[in-house]
Amino acid sequence: MTHHNAPPPTLGCRSAPVLKERGQREVFCGLTGIIWLHRKIQDAFFLVVGSRTCAHLLQSAAGVMIFAEPRFGTAILEESDLAGLNDAHAELDRTVEQLLARRPDIRQLFLVGSCPSEVIKLDLNRAAERLTVQYAPKVRVLEYSGSGIETTFTQGEDACLAAMVPVLPQTDARELLVVGALPDVVEDQMLGLLADLGIGPVRVLPARNIDDEMGVGDNTVFALTQPFLGDTHAALVRRGASHIAAPFPFGDEGTTAWLAAIAAEFGVSDEVFQRVTEAPRRRARQAIAQAAAPLNGKSVFFFPDSQLEIPLARFLTRECGMTALEVGSPYIHDSLHGPDLDLLPAGPQISEGQDVDLQLDRCRDARPDLTVCGLGLANPLEAEGLSTKWAIELVFTPVHFYEQAGDLASLFARPVRRKDILGVAAE
């Protein structure tokens, strides 16, 4: 039996007018990505060069402290470091030496720029070059910015991956490179699907270890698993690689479209494609049908957070029966988000950027059944009677590909179900 998704809407959102706002943004900065990146890349250490605020953010954003000696830390700038930049470089060298002596297992060190390090123009690029020479070949030192003045939340991962692209070796091999940090279990499922389709070898960026790293070149084709990798996309294109544009692999439809785009690139037959995808598609549909029942006919409003908003709105509207009222994203890139916008039925206000008080006004007027927002807004909106889904959980939970499609639907369904349950109990 072959499943077909609903046909694309006659009018999608790709050409819809975008409300661009500029004001107070209730979002994390790019440093937050370190919380998952330091678990993903197992021989890397992330050293933020910043302030006490940066350290406090990292320990607060995670919500939990990972006391199994996390592979990240903050070199907190002090008054004396601000006085002279040469001294700051010397201090940084000293800190790195201390760190690498304590963690001999570290093979990659990321110096992560922050708002203060950028404002004082501490040249971490220079520092990374100097330290790479000093610690080669054992440790590679790279730098990127996770600062709030440059990056919003998931852009930190983008900046990190983009920083790795220039140092990847050159290759002429025709290889598929899949880009985006996924939970290991999801990554393994994806690799299994691609292997079953007969596509290989498949490389993954970021690799779990420096020794697993891949080459890149004119014959490399790459697919993104995360919709926030604009700079990495550009960096790979600069290395000659070509992008396979596709909707992002959320839900049955997104996963199928994503795999189909890759399958087409590698000349996989329809027959093989159907055979490989049929069973997981059936499971995904079944799981979504069960999990998404409470969402059917309900409305959803997205505050900008992770750039996952557009693909998720597509999933909720086309596979869970929801209506989107507003879909806010911190940034919208047509080359990345276009395929999802094509599928998202016209109707919702698409917004980019944020002026949080104005957006809260719109949200209160719209009275959505479900509001997807950051942790700073969730409880206040709940107290006003709106059901909310904290957006950060969507980044910290395995949600990609077929086997997680039901979990993804339940993440959204749980607050709605909960409200029903508690409503009954209260009467």
Residues making contact with other proteins (CB under 8 A): 23-32, 49, 51-53, 55-57, 59-61, 63, 65, 67, 70, 72-79, 81-82, 88, 91-92, 94-95, 98-99, 115-116, 118-120, 147-150, 152, 357, 374-380, 382-383
Q: Count other Cβ atoms within 10 Å, centred on residue 195.
A: 13
Which CB, 262 or 372, lies closer to other proteins? 372
Range list of H helices, 103-176: 115-119, 124-135, 155-164
| Shortest Å, Cβ 381 to other proteins | 9
Phi, psi of 228 (to 5 degrees): -115, 20
Give the pair of three-digit tokens for residue 250: 């959320």
CB of 363 to other proteins, least distance (A): 13
User: Do residues 313 and 324 make contact, with C-beta atoms less than 8 angstroms apart?
Assistant: yes
Residue 364 Cβ vs other proteins, minimum distance, rounded to whole Å: 13
Where does 25-172 have alpha helices with state H? 34-40, 52-61, 79-83, 85-102, 115-119, 124-135, 155-164
- Closest CB to other proteins among residues 116, 339: 116
Residue 419 C-beta: closest distance to other proteins, Å: 16
Contact 361, 336 (CB under 8 A): no
Other Cβ atoms within 10 Å of 117 Cβ, number: 27
- The residues that bridge with 49 in the sheet, in sequence order, are 75, 113
What's the min distance (Å) between Cβ of 270 and other proteins? 46
In the complex with other proteins, the residue whose CB is nearer, 240 or 380, is 380
Residues across the chain: 427
Indicate the residue among 81 and 369 with the shorter CB distance to other proteins.
Answer: 81
Q: Say how many C-beta atoms besides its own lie within 10 A of residue 350's C-beta.
A: 26
CB of 356 to other proteins, least distance (A): 8
Q: Which is nearer to other proteins, 230 or 345 (CB)?
A: 230
Dist. CA 78–CA 411, nearest whole Å:
42
In whole angstroms, how close is the CB of 29 to other proteins at the nearest point? Answer: 3
CB of 230 to other proteins, least distance (A): 16
What residues contact residue 33 under an 8 Å CB cut-off, 6+ apart? Answer: 146, 153, 154, 155, 156, 157, 160
Closest CB to other proteins among 116 and 249?
116
Smaller CB distance to other proteins: residue 152 or 255? 152
- When the beta carbons of 250 and 303 are compared against other proteins, the nearer one is 303
**Smallest separation, CB 418 to other proteins (Å):** 15
Smallest CA-to-CA distance from 58 within 45, 72, 40, 44 is with 72
Residue among 52 and 367 whose Cβ is closer to other proteins = 52
Element (H, E) at 342: helix 334-343
Phi, psi of 394 (to 5 degrees): -70, -20
